[in-house]
Structure 1
Amino acid sequence: MRIAVLALQGLFDTGLTVMLDAFSLANRFAAAKMGGRPHFELSIVGVRKKVRSGQGLAIPVQAITADLKPDWVIIPALGTGMPEQLVTALERPDVRDAAAQLLAWHAQGALLAASCIGTFLVAETGLLDHREATTTWWLGPLFRQRYPAVSLDESRMLVPSDVGVTAGAAMGHLDLALWLIRRASPELAALVSRYLLADLRSSQAPYIIPNHLAQADPLIQRFERWARDHLKQGFSLQRAAAALATSARTLQRRCQEVLGKSPLAYFQDLRVEHAQVLLHSSGLDVDAIAAEVGYVDGATLRTLLRQRLGKGVRDLRADLR
């Protein structure tokens, strides 16, 4: 996979470095542990000859040439924390030139990946219009105002589309890198994730990969949204299929093809997710949480959590202490 990382003046240092470290580890593991050649050919490129990060560090960029034909282009975030600073930065000549270069690469078949404020640069090209995207949550209002044609959901960490993928705030750069590594090799992504202690997002571990995969299929995307809206009512394959204007057989087959599991199993993944949120953020007891996710009593929920996460309710709540 050929990846061009587009470095702009004043970018967010951590966003760039965490991605470079993740891909570097992936290549080392691929060569040493998995007996293969590096999976990723990275080039750090710039629309200007000299680029400094937000912390003033010089970034060794190479010039963009006609023979550079990346499969993916990654746009790290600018280090502009306030909305007014970002609006000014988006009008800079180098940022405008970068947007034009993204359009050129996209026309050649490249996919675009951006995290945090980097998603604004992709949106500037118009390529996200009438598509779903995410961005850093605290700039959601500005994003909606500036790009009303984009379907924004800043509650999501990663949103793939036919243009590429957008990711959420700050350390979403790591999620973005791991998502790209996973496309090449789930085993390799698991190694990198463990090495970088990426289980800091362990509360999302049971469902995050199915969640990503669901975005690749329109029917599964709609099923996911329907499922989240009906957790409390419980699961019915026939009702879900009718709501999605498809057959139960088609939904069953598509879930298996895309997610590798049944609709009921995926529905239970979403129950686990919501139950975890409530365990962490509410004062509800287990029976009350069970009712919120469609179970009659807490015993069933405890069993499901133990099966899916390998932890009981007490352990899950202790994780945040």
Structure 2
Amino acid sequence: MKHYQIAVLAYPHSLLSAVYGFAETFELATEACTEIGLEVRITTHILYEADLLNKQATQQPYHAVLLPPSLEKASYSEKNASINDFLIAQHRQGAMLCSACAGAFFLAYTGITDKRLMTTHWALEGLFKEHFPKQAMDTSKILINQGDVISAGGMMSWVDLAMELVQALMNVNIVRQLGKTLVVDTGKREQRYYQQFQPNFDHGDAAILAVQHHLQGHFAELQRTESMAALAKLTPRTFLRRFSKCTGFNPNEYLQRLRIQAACDKLEETTQPFESIALEVGYEDVGSCRKAFQKIMGLTPSAFRQRFVSSITAN
């Protein structure tokens, strides 16, 4: 009989639906194993911050330690010493460290993830990079399993994380059974399907901000580097350097993101065929727009519309 001990850290302002959702998912998985005679069990321990001061709780070795999402920035924007020490100690004893959404911040504070690729909620990417500029990130992914470190992306990605652990500790058949019981999709998906382009306007560079505001209203028009530099009252070379520093993109990439986001909005809000949407958002060649759309969103335009607007017939 294999019996796994999993700790879920219910840190201040953590998402309780995820905290208890982890425990209930693992309980259902254990029941499913019992029904088919698979000798694997999972016991979940919900640990609060006060528990981390208890030597007995902290010294017990866990197979995995889970960090759920949070709705409160203050809960993860600074290192928590007791959580940090606990995570490092558990990892030294062989525990897998796992995060969902904002839980990634706690893992990154430990330094253990420095050479691991991680993900977090796409909307937290900017803040995460401010805190951990050298951390390798890919927020297009819902889940990244690095063996001893597993990170999951969006607010509800705790479900993906729970299923990943069930598959790792039990087997894929139990995951399929759970999917049917809970009525959740256990197929592979990516976070970029849900990602929205949110430009950074809070960088303090007035010259670049003026160009960004111009592009918001004129992204469908031809934009040349020289004209944007002139609008910013900078030389082209200085403009390119400062624009990339402030936005994280060169002007062409930034413009492409604006256009593809506009295309996403129109696919969701209208019944227009993609051909007319492509022209409307600034692409002369529909094929180029389709290619850029799939590269950025990870879905074809028709698959995107079908996924998010089930009441509209895809074009």
TM-score bracket for the superposition, by shorter chain length? 0.5 to 0.7
Alignment deviations for residues 87-136 of structure 1 (CA, whole Å, 9 cap, x no partner): 2xx34xxx211111110111111111110111110011011113210011
Paired position in structure 1 for 2:67: 75
Map 1:1-321 → 2, pairs under 5 A: 1-32=4-35, 34-49=36-51, 64-66=57-59, 68-80=60-72, 82=73, 86-87=76-77, 90-91=78-79, 95-183=80-168, 184-199=170-185, 205=187, 207-208=188-189, 283-284=273-274, 292=290, 319=310, 321=312
Q: Matches of 1:139 and 1:313 in 2, distance apart?
A: 23
**Contact residue 278 and residue 284 of structure 1 kept, 8 A:** no
Identity %: 23
Q: Matches of 1:158 and 1:141 in 2, distance apart?
A: 18
| Paired amino acid for 1:41 | T
**Contact residue 28 and residue 38 of structure 1 kept, 8 A:** no
SS of 2:177 mapped into structure 1: helix
Q: Quickly say closer, same or farther: Cα 1:172–1:63, change in 2 above 3 A.
A: farther
Q: Matches of 1:313 and 1:208 in 2, distance apart?
A: 12
What TM-score does the superposition give when structure 1 sets the normalisation length? Answer: 0.57
SS of 1:135 mapped into structure 2: coil
Q: Matches of 1:103 and 1:289 in 2, distance apart?
A: 50
Alignment deviations for residues 223-246 of structure 1 (CA, whole Å, 9 cap, x no partner): xxxxxxxxxxxxxxxxxxxxxxxx
Alignment deviations for residues 282-301 of structure 1 (CA, whole Å, 9 cap, x no partner): 9426xx789957xxxxxxxx
Paired residue total: 216
| Paired amino acid for 1:182 | Q
Alignment deviations for residues 152-183 of structure 1 (CA, whole Å, 9 cap, x no partner): 11121101114320001211011100111112
Alignment deviations for residues 37-77 of structure 1 (CA, whole Å, 9 cap, x no partner): 443122222341499xxxxxxxxx995143x1111111122
| Paired amino acid for 2:50 | R
| Paired amino acid for 2:57 | I
Q: Matches of 1:155 and 1:315 in 2, distance apart?
A: 19
Q: Matches of 1:77 and 1:62 in 2, distance apart?
A: 25
Unaligned runs of 5+ in 1: 52-60, 210-276, 294-304, 306-311
Q: Hey, which bits of structure 1, 4+ residues long, moved more than 6 A?
A: 277-280, 288-291, 312-318
Q: Quickly say closer, same or farther: Cα 1:85–1:5, change in 2 above 3 A.
A: closer
Alignment deviations for residues 170-206 of structure 1 (CA, whole Å, 9 cap, x no partner): 110111001111122100001111211112x7xxx3x
Q: Matches of 1:318 and 1:46 in 2, distance apart?
A: 40
Q: Quickly say closer, same or farther: Cα 1:108–1:313, change in 2 above 3 A.
A: closer
Q: Quickly say closer, same or farther: Cα 1:85–1:39, change in 2 above 3 A.
A: closer
| Paired amino acid for 1:16 | V
**Contact residue 182 and residue 188 of structure 1 kept, 8 A:** yes
Q: Quickly say closer, same or farther: Cα 1:146–1:316, change in 2 above 3 A.
A: closer
Unaligned runs of 5+ in 2: 191-263, 276-285, 292-299
Q: Quickly say closer, same or farther: Cα 1:118–1:187, change in 2 above 3 A.
A: same
What TM-score does the superposition give when structure 2 sets the normalisation length? Answer: 0.58
Query: Shift in Å at residue 137 of structure 1?
Result: 1.5
**Contact residue 279 and residue 289 of structure 1 kept, 8 A:** no
Query: Shift in Å at residue 279 of structure 1?
Result: 12
Q: Quickly say closer, same or farther: Cα 1:40–1:78, change in 2 above 3 A.
A: same
- Rg: which structure is higher? 2
Paired position in structure 2 for 1:235: none
**Contact residue 45 and residue 62 of structure 1 kept, 8 A:** no
Q: Matches of 1:154 and 1:178 in 2, distance apart?
A: 19
SS of 2:66 mapped into structure 1: strand
| Paired amino acid for 2:24 | D
Q: Matches of 2:135 and 2:161 in 1, distance apart?
A: 20
